Amino acid sequence: EKAQALASRTADHLRSPVICILGHVDTGKTKILDRIRRTNVQDGEAGGITQQIGATYFPIDAVKKEATKLAEGRQLDYNVPSLLIIDTPGHESFTNLRSRGSSLCDIAILVVDILHGLEPQTKESIGLLKARKTPFIVALNKIDRIYDWDAQPHNCPTRDSIAKQPRHAREEFMRRVRDAQLEFAEIGFNTELYWENEDPRKTVSLVPTSAISGEGIPDLLMLLLALPQKLLTDRLMFNPLLEATVLEVKVIEGLGTTIDVILTGGTIREGDTIMVVGLDGPIVSTIRALLTPHPMKEMRVKGQYLHHKEIKAAQGIKISAEGMEKAVAGTQLMVVQDPTSEVEMEYCRDEVMKDFQTILTDVDKSGKGVYVQASTLGSLEALLEFLRSSKIPVSGINIGPVHKRDVTKASTMLERGKEYATILAFDVGVEKEARELAEDAGVRIFTADIIYHLFDQFTAYMEQIKKDRREQVSDEVVFPSISRILPQHVYNKKDPIVVGVDVLEGILRVGTPLVVKHGAEWLDIGRVASLELSKKQVVTARKGESVAVKIQHKNTEHIMYGRHFDFQDVLVSKMSRPAIEILKQSFKEDLGREDWLLVVKLKKMFDII
Ligand code: GDP
């Protein structure tokens, strides 16, 4: 009795951890969720597992029933009231569980297909988890697909299942585990099979699972409890301050526009004055109804909600309130204690918009960059983070579908750089008129619902533009160079001149106009028609290299080696202001620091201001 009282007291103080599932497409995220949800259902009682808004509520007794199949599970303290597992797997919901740059997701399950290893979106997920410092465990899923695996029924603990496998299946399994570990190590993560993991703070636990047979599901649930006990108890202390994030904005028949909210701290009540982020500024409203799905109903039945007077964290709830049409998903929700206090209202307005402000700081001050659009603040933030790490500048952002005015904004970039007259649209639609305008104006719109796809499309486009541009100006560009003629290597004195040279400074490139200095005058001796280095045609020769140069002049006959110039003259690239502009714009990376210093030197020599 005493123990029970103690347990209920801790349960009062610790809230439920919020859990997200991430990973590459088709690794089995949805299936794992289904499997977890159906746990205990087969013997006729659902163990109190209830569907919430955007999440499944998993009471501690149901978790315990599974977890105590394991010896470790029997030693745990079951001191959290439940697990709250977010229903929509993937990036989207994880990135929306955010508040001022940190995540409201307490633990993540990263699902990896044991036969495929780490796939692009797995790495993207890891990037997000790392950025938000969210602890995670890895479900190495689909173990039942290992050759000759003898799948064990009824949610069998992994090690019991492994013990029953034929030797070669077990060996194959171990090989796959090692492969995955290597891949994790390559991106800087130590991993161990969870039963060999001695320090979950530093090493990520791997849990082999099968969402089909349920193997490893008890292990997964047990770890979801064990991890908070080791890592998160402070985080899970019941926080009386309200902490809530808007997951989705949805129109519901009979209710109008509602917001789906995950409450991770505090208590929320019907009639509370709330403030949320709107596209045009903070939205203030009053909670008309606090709703959760009816527990007795099938989860897919709509329109049947249970009304609550108040709800305590952690829970997923639907809020019906006036004026939610422009609310932005992925932002925090605040409750105004005293709406009559102008001071508090002001404070809340600032506070609630902070998320939006932080994101705006990502917009490039130079005003040069791509236009970025996403469905929610969370996904916008994730995309911006990705663009930042890829050094792609951003000039503007918006949330929601791409409208004409977005295209107009992006089109202002056309003068600054064609590649920036681009809209990267993540997980949003593009209106027909917007698409038409974009086509007319020359604005490119890239759409994708996976960040790296968007990024790949854009980088390929940027490369192409760069290549085109370089080709266009290839005849006009002048690389800086100074070369000395080798008198013993004069092969032809005129028409064309062919001499051997040492490149003293810079880069001698085919197409470069060369000059020599005669008193105060510069004499044109022609353009580099070709270069030969060790009997091979080359496009450029760098400082320190010796090459044979063929020089052609429009009026070849007028220029002759030995008469107009000789080995005592140095050959210099003829610089001009437009040529320097082209260098800067399209060939920046081709020149090193020394080469740029030479450009400055030549600029002075040619009196270019
Ligand atoms: P998601 O895209 O990550 O949500 O993946 P799903 O849960 O939709 O699963 C993708 C496919 O893999 C489906 O056909 C599943 O039936 C299958 N699948 C998922 N988990 C397992 C597993 O553990 N074993 C086997 N054999 N198939 C699985």
Longest dimension (CA), the chain: 112
CA atoms of 278 and 322, how far apart (whole Å): 13
User: At 295, phi and psi to the nearest 5?
Assistant: -60, -30
408 lines ligand 1 (CB under 6 A): no
The pLDDT score that the predictor gives to residue 571 is: 95
Contact status, residue 137 vs residue 224, Cβ threshold 8 Å: yes
Question: Per residue in 527-575, pLDDT tens?
Answer: 999 999 999 999 999 999 999 999 988 775 678 898 889 999 999 999 9
If you average pLDDT over residues 217-246, what whole number do you get?
84
Mean pLDDT for 88-114 is 85
Pairing of strands 82-86, 332-336: unpaired
pLDDT in tens, 492-537: 998 899 999 999 999 999 999 999 998 888 999 999 999 999 999 9
Calpha distance 457→17 (Å, rounded): 37
Q: What does the DSSP assignment read for 396-447? A: EEEESSBPHHHHHHHHGGGGT-GGGSEEEEES--B-HHHHHHHHHHT-EEEE
* Contact between 153 and 168 (Cβ < 8 Å): no
The confidence band for 480, taking pLDDT boundaries of 50, 70 and 90, is very high
Q: What mean pLDDT comes out for the span 428-453?
A: 91
Q: What's residue 39's pLDDT?
A: 66
Tell me which residue of 69, 106, 68 sits closest to 84, measured CA to CA: 106
Gap between the Cα atoms of 293 and 87, Å rounded = 14
Whether the CB-CB separation of 540 and 470 falls below 8 Å is answered with no
Q: In testing the pocket of ligand 1, which one of 25, 26, 86, 116 has its CB within 8 Å of the most ligand atoms?
A: 26
pLDDT given for residue 1 in this prediction: 55
Average pLDDT score over residue span 40-61: 68
Which of 206, 28, 219, 218 lies closest to 116, judged by CA?
28
User: What pLDDT is recorded for position 293?
Assistant: 82
From ligand 1's centre to the CA of 345, what distance in Å? 48
Q: What is the pLDDT of residue 463?
A: 87
Cβ of 91 less than 6 Å from ligand 1 = no
pLDDT of residue 267: 93
Mean pLDDT score, 40-46: 48
How does residue 40 score in pLDDT terms, banded at 50, 70 and 90?
low
Task: Read off the pLDDT band of 465 (50, 70, 90).
Answer: confident
pLDDT of 42: 45
Q: How far apart are the first and last CA of the chain?
A: 90
Rounded CA separation 259/212 (Å): 34
The CA distance from 397 to 52, in Å, is 32
- For residue 207, the CA-to-ligand 1 centroid distance in Å is 16
User: How far, in Å, is the centroid of ligand 1 from the Cα of 28?
Assistant: 4
State the pLDDT at residue 15: 87
- Residue identifier of the C-alpha nearest atom 27 of ligand 1: 142
Give pLDDT tens digits for 390-403.
Answer: 788 899 888 889 99
Q: Residue 555, class by beta-carbon neighbours within 10 Å (0-12 exposed, 13-18 middle, 19+ buried)?
A: exposed
Q: Looking at residues 30-40, what average pLDDT do you find?
A: 82
What pLDDT is recorded for position 98?
77
The answer to whether residue 408 scores a pLDDT higher than 80 is: yes
Determine the Cα–Cα distance for residues 133 and 254; give it in Å rounded to an integer.
40
Q: What is the pLDDT of residues 307-327, one digit of tens each?
A: 999 999 889 999 999 999 989
Question: If you average pLDDT over every residue of the chain, what do you get?
Answer: 88
